[in-house]
Structure formats: C-alpha cells, structure tokens
Copies of this chain bind each other. A is one copy, B any other.
C-alpha cells in the first residue's frame, strides 16, 4: 500500500508534492497557473477528517506500486455486490448538486455509474464538492463497494450495478474540451431529425483527433480496421503465404507517373514507394512462392475526394500461378468471404456501434464472388443508356452506375470485373493472350467503388522491357526489377487492397477520413 489510506479503502496520505518537487520550475508554474485560472478545488481542506480519501493524485511516475488490483468496468457484475472495487477511467459525465454527486466513468466503450452522498463516515461535503468540480474527460481513480441500484442505470452500459464511491482521486485533469463527445458521437438519424443539434465538423474532429477517437463509433471503426488485418493474415497464412517487408525508400517510381513523394537519400534522389509492387514480384523471383505485406503506401496526388488519401495502408499479395490468374481470383474469393464473414460473426458489437451513429445497409455478398467480364460490364452500361469507353478506364461515376446495375441483376455489393483494356493498366500487366487490346487484370468493387486492383504480371524480361518502353518508364530506374526475371521466373499474379477503403465501404461510410487514424490528404499533415 502506498498513498491510499485503508480508512478510505484506497490508499495512504499523498506524499507532499513528491512528484512536482523534481519537475522543474516551469512545469510547476504552468500547473499552478492552470489551477489558479480555473479556481477549482484540487486538494482537500486539511481539516476534513476524510482528507486522505480525495484530491488530485501526484503524477503517476512509477513509484513503489500500491499492490491495489484494479477492476475492468466490463467485469463488474451483480456477483460483486458489496465488494470493494478500484477503477481507473475517464469521467464522462459529472452531475449533482449539494450533497449528491453522480459520476459516469468510462473505459473505452464501457461505462458505469458511481455515486456519492454526503454521510458521517465515508463521504464528506468537501469530497462531494471536489468531485462536482472535476472536469469531463479527466482520468480518475475511484474506489468503493459495488451496489445494485433499484432501477437500472439507463445511461450506462453497466445497467445493473453502480459503485458507491468512498475514495476519488484525479489522475489527469482535462482542460475544457474542443467539442463535446456527446456531440461528436450523435447519430446521423438524430442530426437529421433535429436541425438545432450541434454538428462537429470533420476538420475540427481531425484537428483534435485524439479526442474524436473516443466516441463509440470511432472505437469500433478502429477495432474493425485491426480485425480486417487480422482476418487477412489468418486466411493467407492458412493458404501458405508468408509475410514480407519491402523497402519504402526506393530509387524510382514504382507505379510510374508523377504522383510520387521525393526525398534526398544520402545525396541521391529517392522516392517513396507508391506500392510494394516491384518488390513483392522480386520476392517471387527469390522463390518466396506466396507473399503478403501490410504496409503504408504513398501517393502524392492532389485528389480532394471522399476516397483518396496521400498515405494509406495497402494489403498486398503476390503468388506464383500455374497457368491462369483465375488462381489468384480463387484466393481472393476465399479471402474476402472469410474477412466479411469473420467481421460479421466475431465483431457484431463493433458493427452495431458504427451502424448506430452511421446507419447503412448491411453489405450483401455471395458465397462465391461474381466475376464479371469487362465486356459484359460494358454491355450492362450500354443497355442502361451510358456510353463507356470500351478500351479506356471506367470513370468513378460509371463504376458507381455499374455497381447499381450489378446489384440489381446479381444481388451483390461485392464483385470482380476482369479483362480490363490493356491501355488502362500499369506496364507490368500481362496482355490478354487472345487480344492484346485487353489484359489479364481485374478490379474489385464494394458498393460500386474500387477497393482492389490486380492482375497477372509480365514475367518475361523482354516483354516487360517492351511494355515499360510503351509506357515511357525510364528503364534505368527499374533495371534491377527487370533483371530479376532473367534468372528463371515463375508466372505470377497478385493484387493490392486499400485497407481504409475496405473498412469505409464495408461499413457504408461516406468518407475515407473516417477510417484512417490520422488521415493524410493534400491539405493535412498534422496531427
């Protein structure tokens, strides 16, 4: 036991400013200044007999551990009634006047009510006053016995239990918040119904992302992002894939074009990889057979759309094939059915939390993914009155229209469009064997938006050189890549997935910035 006193059930006297003593003058002054400005109570009246049961804790700085075991809010149940628990959490709400105080304590998405009523033995007036003046989102330690309230606590996730506070200390005091979490977490349904409700705009959220991330929907979104990576790896490791790590600092543009970030690499020009493309193929030439990588990808594109970022997370794979890139599509099919099913079966609470704030139709997919030939896609569009370029790429608008037509006809939000025109694909794409205006390539769509691009690659160095020339790629910058196919190359193919897009579109969200932890777009480099 260190500073918690047994009488308060939680600790001993606070060592006199032991923490701040060595913090230096500046820090002490700033902290003192802050406290004076706010004019709030941070320490008990020395005359209060319960003075050791509340007050701001000294800086947690790895002193001798108290030995106290803290309990997670989600583990507190009626089975613990009457037992003393110690909980650290955020003070989401504080209310009450005079002799009563109600606290809503939060850990991630779990909340519990803690209550204080002035009495002769465990709760003093000073203690209640101290609690009432705590600021929202402050981190606090509370102790007290678990109690079962007469009526369920509707506003908390723990409805059947509450804590009768006998000790409370502030661990980290929050300044006035840039916006209210209640506003940031409001459902779009409520916002639509109530034009007077406060809307927290996206720019403000992103400026203060470390606060914005605390809403239940954001907590869930990034649990789901983590889950997609986990499911991706589970499925691929089971199929004999191996994880690799390829360099992001490279000599030439990996995908050609101008959208490259440059850097000075020890006196010579370097680029940031726009994809692990060339390197995952070289790994195949190094006999790795089946590889994947989860990696940042850099695109210096001035695209201010809802679905472009300057840096995103690529889920990439590459594999040797025997004869046909259908073998890649077979892996893709099993992989995404596994990911989607896994999200739905293992992360139901997270899906519900996102859907509560951002309602959307659940994703529809087929047990075996639809593979639509390019020409059939063109025909569907033409029949619907559109005029796609049969040997160009699809515009974003036509992708969306095609998504609608496919959903109508095939009842799926997730499908593969294959045999793209060669002119629309990167230089390393294998031409179609029957008609060189086409290529052995595909894109994959969710809700009419592209999330995956893939293909069989050219593994013949002479043909690859020719294709690079046709694309006016400077050969010297990719010579080692071309050379890698000279010493025997397995035919191969693969694809790259945009993680943030998958999460956005699976959930039916409207902006990719919602699924990037700290998004990077042409305007945003901080935080």
Contact = CB atoms under 8 A, between A and B. Distances in A.
A34 interface: yes
B286 A213 contact: yes
Given A27-B466, A526-B480, A487 B261 contact: no
A65 B487 contact: no
A268 B524 CA distance: 11
Given A62-B440, A247-B520, A249-B311, A211 B487 contact: yes
Interface stretch (A292-300, A368-376, A386-394): A292-300
Contact of A23 (B230, B282, B463, B517): B463
B249 A287 contact: no
Interface size class of A (residues with CB under 8 A): 35 or more
Contacts of A270: 261, 525
A26 B466 contact: yes
Contacts of A60: 321-323, 459, 491
Interface string A191-225: 00000000000000001111111100011001101
Given A34-B462, A270-B525, A283 B517 contact: yes
A296 B296 contact: yes
A270 B491 CA distance: 39
A289 interface: yes
Interface in A470-489: 480-481, 483-489
A91 B246 CA distance: 27
Nearest to A281: B210
A283 B527 CA distance: 11
Contacts of A289: 107-108
Contacts of A90: 287, 488
A456 interface: yes
A31 B322 CA distance: 22
B323 A65 contact: yes
Interface stretch (A122-130, A170-178, A401-409): A170-178
15 contacts: A22-B433, A27-B460, A61-B432, A65-B323, A108-B287, A139-B488, A172-B489, A172-B490, A212-B286, A214-B287, A245-B517, A250-B525, A261-B263, A261-B265, A282-B527
Given A177-B487, A211-B487, A248-B248, 18 more contacts: A18-B433, A30-B466, A31-B462, A60-B321, A60-B459, A65-B323, A172-B489, A175-B486, A175-B487, A210-B285, A210-B286, A212-B286, A213-B283, A213-B287, A247-B520, A250-B526, A251-B525, A263-B272
A-B interface, 5 closest residue pairs, ranked by CB to CB distance from nearest? A213-B286, A480-B527, A174-B488, A30-B462, A60-B491
